[in-house]
């Protein structure tokens, strides 16, 4: 069973922010697969369903970003999923251009507090992640202010298209494996 976790912060005030792109991808995937992500369990809003022929849990942790690992750990413990093969985490990434997607099977948190907490709770950094590029913060900006800000109109359009590609990438990970998905989706998209 796959556990697909989109990172973000709960609450209307965080909706549509760069940091919540993981939630946006979960909502898109849930809509495409007719899965309701409304059940409160494991410190998250979850939905159970089938994605690409496999049973999946879609989850939006409600712990706030910096404690995302608490929810991920609870989900893995309850559903007994293989955390190295069946956990897929979707997060924002300021080191990638707006709309770029990068799939990784392991690696550091890269300064992302949500990933940092997941790595701490798992005790390793080997899990599949779908990183969503939100662009580099402008010089002189505070990182927190930037990631908690919203996309411009043109950026939002690019991110909506990126979310569609991320949903396709997740299906590819499930059906063909992470390596094949990396080959297909880790290329620069020309804007």
| E strand map for 52-179 | 54-61, 87-93, 101-104, 128-133
What letter would DSSP give residue 17?
B
Residue 153's SS3 state is helix
- Three-state secondary structure of 65-95: HHHHHHHHHHHHHHHCCCCCCCEEEEEEECC
Selected catalytic residue, list 19, 42, 112, 124 = 19
Strands 44-51 and 101-104: unpaired
CB atoms within 10 A of CB 191: 10
Catalytic-residue membership of 19: yes
Q: Which residues are catalytic?
A: 19
């Amino acid at each position: 069973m796959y556990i697909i976790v989109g990172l973000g912060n709960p609450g209307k005030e965080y909706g549509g922010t760069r940091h919540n792109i993981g939630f946006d991808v979960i909502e898109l995937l849930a809509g495409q697969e007719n899965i309701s992500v409304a059940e409160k369990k494991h410190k998250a809003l979850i939905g159970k369903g089938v994605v690409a022929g496999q049973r999946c849990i879609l989850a939006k942790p409600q712990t706030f970003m910096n404690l995302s690992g608490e929810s991920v750990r609870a989900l893995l413990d309850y559903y007994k999923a293989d955390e190295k093969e069946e956990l897929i985490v979707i997060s924002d990434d300021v080191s990638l251009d707006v709309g770029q997607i990068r799939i990784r099977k392991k690696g550091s948190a890269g300064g992302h507090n949500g990933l940092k907490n997941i790595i701490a709770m798992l005790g390793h950094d080997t899990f599949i992640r779908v990183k969503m590029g939100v662009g580099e913060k402008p010089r002189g900006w505070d990182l927190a202010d930037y990631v908690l800000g919203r996309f411009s109109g043109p950026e939002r359009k690019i991110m909506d298209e990126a979310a569609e590609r991320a949903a396709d990438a997740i299906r590819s990970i499930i059906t063909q494996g992470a390596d094949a998905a990396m080959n297909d989706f880790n290329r620069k998209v020309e804007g």
